[in-house]
Amino acid sequence: MNIGDMIPSDLGIDAEGHMVKESDFKGKPLIIYFYPKDNTPGCTAEACSLRDGYADLRNAGYEIIGISKDSPASHEKFADKHSLPFTLLSDTSTEINQAFGVWQKKKMAGREYMGTVRTTFITDTDHRITHIINKVDTKNSAGQILDIIKQA
């Protein structure tokens, strides 16, 4: 996905097993962040930064959605453990990761594998992408996003 693209209709499965659609957020700009795995250091830092900046992001009018390939049950435990006030969606098939272009070949310790590349998408009220953050500052994700939306 690129700046100017409309996001896909389907966004992922929520904790109750329902498909969440972009139309569920009609008229609200979105912050959609893709992350590799629940309860890993970087992903926890990012989620907690967004939790801590949640009020400011909501006051700016934005809804926050986190997406990874973890199961709904894993997301529920992760959200409870860290008191996350926003929606986490499951994409176990990686179909949504692929639609956004964040399911890519990665390399760690000389091993290549497919995985989610940490990326944040910001949309307008029509759900057209206005900004893409490829170099996410996990410890200051909320501040990074707030800086961008204040300049927009």
Phi, psi of 7 (to 5 degrees): -75, 155
- Strands 63-68 vs 30-34: parallel, antiparallel or unpaired: parallel
Confirm if 22 and 5 have CB atoms less than 8 A apart.
no
Taking 3-state DSSP, the helix, strand and coil percentages for the chain, each rounded to the nearest 5, stand at 35, 30, 35
The domain defined by 30-151 carries CATH number 3.40.50.300: no
Locate the domains of the chain by residue range.
30-151
Confirm if 92 and 69 have CB atoms less than 8 A apart.
yes
For residue 92, the model assigns a pLDDT of 96
For residue 108, the model assigns a pLDDT of 83
48 is catalytic: no
Query: 13: burial class by Cβ within 10 Å (0-12, 13-18, 19+)?
Result: buried
- Per-residue pLDDT of 65-96, as tens digits, reads 999 999 999 999 999 999 999 999 999 999 99
For residue 109, the model assigns a pLDDT of 87
Average pLDDT per 10 consecutive residues for the chain, totaling 152 residues = 96 93 96 97 96 97 97 95 97 97 92 95 97 96 95 79
- Strands 119-123 vs 30-34: parallel, antiparallel or unpaired: antiparallel
Question: Which candidate in 7, 11, 13, 43 is catalytic?
Answer: 43
